[in-house]
Amino acid sequence: MSPATRRSRPVIDATLVERLETLAGAAIARLPDVAYPLVSKLTSAKLLAPTRLPPDAVTIGSEVLYHDHHAVRDLRVTLAWPEQADISRGYVSVLTPVGAALLGLSVGDRFQWETRAGQRRGLTVLQVTPEQSPPVTASAPLQPKGP
């Protein structure tokens, strides 16, 4: 990925950095196209306490409406941890090119990168809805509600 075209520096929830660094480190051998840009983003981002994170900053659990410049369409996804990802339900992993690109961006920010095939891709964040509930997975069984 090449540097972002952006209005501001990415902002990331400081409480997530350790897990994001661990994921990126574990993925370097098999997914270097995602791992290295994620590490780069983590080192350049402004780290904030969750209570200081702007409501339009994309973080794990955020629902994001973005414009895909290559496909010329708007897409809505929720950024998720890899074990919660389910593209059929709109949950995209932070360990995908678009997931890593979205992390830390805010409404109005743009990001551009080049694919392994040499295609230029770009997106613009249109809307961010904070903290959506992740999908239920085999590793996260349904918990009963109530007392």
Cβ proximity of 123 and 96 under 8 Å: no
Q: Note the pLDDT of residue 132.
A: 53
Q: Note the pLDDT of residue 125.
A: 97
Q: Note the pLDDT of residue 131.
A: 77
pLDDT along the chain (147 residues), means of 10: 57 96 93 88 94 95 96 96 95 92 95 78 94 48 39
User: In 86-131, which residue ranges form alpha helices assigned H by DSSP?
Assistant: 97-102
CA–CA separation, 122 vs 37, rounded Å? 15
CA–CA separation, 66 vs 108, rounded Å? 9
* Ramachandran sector of residue 74 (left: φ over 0; alpha: ψ -120 to 50; beta: rest): beta
Q: Which of 95, 114, 80, 84 is nearest to 25 (CA)?
A: 95
pTM for the full predicted model: 0.82
